[in-house]
Structure 1
Amino acid sequence: MAGQSGYHVQQGGMDTEADKLDSAGDDTGDIKSAIADAVCFDDDILGGTDSGPAYRSFSTAWQDEAKTLESALHELAGKVRASRSNYDQADHEVIAQVNSAGSAGDSQVSTRPAAVTGLSPFG
C-alpha cells in the first residue's frame, strides 16, 4: 500500500462495496420471487387469446431479467473481492521485494556520489 501521496486502494472499502453488491443481488432475488406467477391462468382470465400469451411473454421476460440481474450482481461482488485479494497480494509482494533488495545489496554500494579527488578536467 502506497503512502499518502501515491496510489492507494482502501481494501476494507472494497469489501464493503462487495457486500453491498451481494445485498442488492439478494434483494433482486427476493423481488424475482415476489413477482413470480404462482398460478397459471387461462387466457380468458387474462383478458382473452391475445392478452394471455402477451402477459405470459412479459412475465417470463421479467423473470429472466431478474434472474440475470441477480446473477450479475453476485458475480460482480465476487470480482470485487478477487480484485481486493489481488491488490493485497501485490502489496505484500512489493513489500517483500523492497525488503529483500535493501538487505541483499553490497555494503560498498551507496546512493551517495563518490568523493571528488584531484582536479576536474573542466578546470
Structure 2
Amino acid sequence: MCGQHLGIGGNKFCSAKCSNVARQRRYRAKHQKTAVAVVPEALHEAQRAEILRLHEQLEEANNHVNNERLRADEWKERFQSVRKAQDETGARMTEQREEQRRQYAKAHEAIARFQGAIERHR
C-alpha cells in the first residue's frame, strides 16, 4: 500500500494501517460500483459520463488522502521514537552529571580531611 519493503514472511501489508487502508479501498470500490449502477438510465450519456468521471476523481482523492495519512502516521512514529531517544539520552546525561557531582563532593571531602590531617600534624 505505502511502498514500504515487506521483508521476509509473506506478509501482504507492512502494518495494520496499510491493511485497514486496503480494506477501506475494497469497501469503497464495492459500494462505488453499486452507487454508479444507481445512476438513472434516463440521464443523458454526457451526464452519466460526468458522474462516472467525478466518482473516479473522488476515489483518487480518497486514495491520496489515505496515503498522506499513512505518511503522516509514519512521521509521527519517527518523531516519537526520536523524542524517546532524546529523552533517554537526556536522562542518561542527567544521571552522569549527578554522579560527577557526587564524585566531586567526595573528592572535596577527602581533600578537606587530608588538609585537616596535615594541619594537625604540623
Please indicate the TM-score interval, normalised by the length of the shorter structure: 0.5 to 0.7
Tell me which amino acid in the other structure corresponds to 2:95: I
Shift of 1:93: 0.4
Matches of 1:27 and 1:66, distance apart in 2: 13
Shift of 1:36: 4.1
1:107 aligned to 2:96? no
Provide the TM-score with structure 2 as the length reference: 0.54
Aligned to 1:79: 79
Shift of 1:35: 4.3
Equivalenced residue count is 83
Asked which structure has the greater CA Rg, the reply is 2
Aligned residues: CA RMSD = 3.2
| 1:9-63 Cα deviation digits (max 9, x unpaired) | xxxxxxxxxxxxxxxx93432233234478xx9xx96952111110011000000
Matches of 1:66 and 1:28, distance apart in 2: 10
The 3 A distance-change label for structure 1 pair 35 and 107 is closer
Provide the TM-score with structure 1 as the length reference: 0.53
Structure 1: any 5+ residue segments left out of the alignment? 1-24, 111-123
**Overall identity of the aligned pairs, in %:** 4
> More helix by proportion, 1 or 2?
2
Match of 2:23 among 31, 34, 45: 34
The 3 A distance-change label for structure 1 pair 46 and 60 is farther
Structure of greater relative contact order (alpha carbons < 8 Å, 6+ residues apart): 1
What are the within-5 Å matches in structure 2 for residues 1-123 of structure 1? 26-36=15-25, 47=39, 48-105=48-105, 107=108
Contact 1:29 1:70 in 2 (8 A): yes
Contact 1:29 1:67 in 2 (8 A): no
Tell me which amino acid in the other structure corresponds to 1:62: N
Matches of 1:73 and 1:30, distance apart in 2: 14
